[in-house]
Amino acid sequence: MNLFVVILLIISAIGIIVTVLLQSGKSAGLSGSIAGAGEQFFGKAAKTKEGAISKLGIVFAVLYLASALALSVFFK
């Protein structure tokens, strides 16, 4: 069981790294931040490939935190 949690921790860490590297850079400047917030507020950006990658990154982050917590609490 300990080995399973460690493997899950490693896979989720690699998944976080890959999803962060696959995300595109946001446009710089004040106009880019206003336009980006408007698109996300109305739900246009969430249905693209970048939105899916962002949600996948959140899933990997939750898996990483849960497996790290399980490893520290249950396997002292």
* CA 34 – CA 30 distance, rounded (Å): 6
Q: How many CA atoms lie within 13 A of 74 on its CB side?
A: 12
Q: How many CA atoms lie within 13 A of 28 on its CB side?
A: 0
For 67, phi then psi, to 5°, come to: -70, -35
* CA 58 – CA 66 distance, rounded (Å): 12
Residue 63 · residue 4 · CB < 8 Å: no
pLDDT in tens, 6-53: 999 999 999 999 999 998 876 655 555 565 555 555 555 556 888 899
pTM of the model: 0.70
